Structure 1
């Protein structure tokens, strides 16, 4: 058994209203719950996919990975125990907050806080905050996350133990020819990417939508609001995603794109190495003054 998908994300922010405006007005997320201390955002029929917590400092808080079932979670827990990982069972309050049946917490070798869960609850159909064709999530999960890491080998071994498989590599010329590793656990081209570097840092979350018009509309809205675009509109070499990047109110970046290719036939997939990140575009920063 292996992880099924990236299921949800939690992040800290100083200003919840700034996150609400950014996520809803620009990207089309739906507010499902709002209070003075947290903001929950829905992107599909799951109760919520993102929780933003009011905090003194911005940053990522946790990454929720779907084990698929109670038995799947138990299997992963046993594997992590054999590795000597320090695990903690989530409380009933934490499970209720995430709207899951149960979860276990563990840090990956870079110190990223993971929550491995089962039984993510669904609700009524997604109602976007602005007209759009919706997010491409479903069984492929929330999207993907990218980590820079000082312990690449340990991270590859850890996520490999959780069932993630190699998709391909990219030589990052802008980072001293560092080799980025892209891993998948379902048909999405990658659910996590690992880049060796001098720091342990969460770089970005990718959200995929169903149409190019939604990407273009968001791009115009980002520019109109003078939100920091960290990479312009472009097309990636490996997953073919047409996307742009902007800085979230939590400090990390958000990639917003469409047309990502999938790995539908594991046996027929060829692992290759690319010498460029993008075919075109993805130039940044676009709005350095903002």
Structure 2
């Protein structure tokens, strides 16, 4: 997704998942989806990649068994401030992410908020790139992502029109 300057968001950059079985997810991610494990954090969470970005997916163990966050990239701190102002202008509560959270996401800075249906969202800039290239053992020729990001996602929405307005206009 290439954003217009008015929108400010340049791509869906990462997604987090909380799953009941890290072992099963690791097998699914690597053997079926063709993702790579960039690293494991001390708590066991998986940092998964598909391109030169340090991580695109992070998977931790827990009871949710669902998406835990959608991360939307902006170009820089000025773009972040612009989008935050727009969100706050329509009544969305935005909170800054901590330095620890930014480090776990491999980004320079992030803020957190929810869409009208309560889906957890983050805006960030300064995504780290990996030192080594990723080559999938499953997807010949690799993934097409980079500045295009993850391309798409599916979100649950209580009100389709409200969600369409939020994601399309805010």
TM beyond 0.5: yes
Residue 34 of structure 2 is aligned to residue 28 of structure 1: yes
Gaps of 5+ in 2: none
Q: Offset of 1:131 from its aligned partner?
A: 6.0
What is the CA–CA distance in structure 2 between the aligned matches of 1:88 and 1:19, rounded to whole Å? 30
What is the CA–CA distance in structure 2 between the aligned matches of 1:147 and 1:26, rounded to whole Å? 22
What is the CA–CA distance in structure 2 between the aligned matches of 1:57 and 1:141, rounded to whole Å? 25
Query: Normalising by the residue count of structure 1, what TM-score does the alignment of the two structures yield?
Result: 0.53
**1:9 aligned partner:** 15
**1:149 aligned partner:** 157
What is the CA–CA distance in structure 2 between the aligned matches of 1:146 and 1:27, rounded to whole Å? 17
Residue 96 of structure 2 is aligned to residue 105 of structure 1: no
Residues 71-107 of structure 1, C-alpha deviation per residue, up to 9 Å, x if partnerless?
1111000111111111110000000000001011010
Q: Contact 1:15–1:54 (CA<8 Å) still a contact in 2?
A: yes
Map 1:1-290 → 2, pairs under 5 A: 1=5, 2-35=8-41, 36-123=43-130, 124-130=132-138, 132-162=140-170
Divergent runs of 4+, >4 A: none
Q: Is the alpha carbon distance of 1:154 and 1:126 closer, same or farther for their aligned partners in structure 2, counting shifts above 3 Å?
A: same
Gaps of 5+ in 1: 163-290
- Choose between structure 1 and 2: higher strand proportion: 1
What is the CA–CA distance in structure 2 between the aligned matches of 1:118 and 1:57, rounded to whole Å? 27
What is the CA–CA distance in structure 2 between the aligned matches of 1:64 and 1:57, rounded to whole Å? 18
What is the CA–CA distance in structure 2 between the aligned matches of 1:85 and 1:18, rounded to whole Å? 36
Task: Give the root-mean-square deviation of aligned CA atoms.
Answer: 1.4
What is the CA–CA distance in structure 1 between the aligned matches of 2:108 and 2:139, rounded to whole Å? 32
Higher normalized contact order (CA 8 Å, seq sep 6+, divided by chain length): 2
- Choose between structure 1 and 2: higher helix proportion: 2
Q: Is the alpha carbon distance of 1:131 and 1:85 closer, same or farther for their aligned partners in structure 2, counting shifts above 3 Å?
A: closer
Say which one has the larger Rg: 1
What is the CA–CA distance in structure 1 between the aligned matches of 2:46 and 2:76, rounded to whole Å? 27
